[in-house]
Amino acid sequence: MVDILHRVGIKAPVDAVYKALATRDGVAAWWTKDTQGESKVGGELRFRFSAGGVEIGGVEVKVVELDPSKQVLWQVIGGPDEWIGTKIGWELRQEGEYAIVLFKHQGWKEPVEFMHHCSTKWATFLLSLKALVETGKGAPAPRDVKIDSWD
């Protein structure tokens, strides 16, 4: 089992970061605009991604933990084969003027090339989250940062 790990520091109260991770409208403002479902423990969220107006992929998750200002954890129940059963989580804490975000996308079976892609892509989305909370404007799909030929 191999994991994707990231860390960003966001100049904001940790509550503001939590809100951007724990609510549907929050996630839609930094990951993908096409976010549907209910962000509550046991609820499901559905994400769609498109490029040039064509849908290129989707992900469905079950919300496993919502611990205010401390943690958000999802389990992937639909999407790319390699994602099924993996867990996506954010641990939060305040450190001075920074909200520190530790991100983990855990439980990949193999370090396939697609995992390399997703690792870089998650970094860009975490910087989108940082921009959203610090400036009010994120870069969710379809306005996301393009990194390679799979975007």
Q: Give contact residues for its own copies (rule: CB under 8 A).
A: 2-9, 95-96, 98, 100, 102-103, 111, 113, 115-117, 119-120, 123-124, 126-127, 130, 145, 147-151
First-to-last alpha carbon distance for the chain, in angstroms, is 25
Region of 69 (left: φ > 0; alpha: ψ -120 to 50; beta: rest) is left
Cβ 85 to its own copies, closest distance in Å? 19
| 5/56 with CB nearer its own copies | 5
Q: Cα dihedral sign for 79, 82, 84, 88?
A: negative
| 81/149 with CB nearer its own copies | 149
| 40/146 with CB nearer its own copies | 146
Is residue 2 within 8 A of residue 110, CB to CB? The reply is: yes
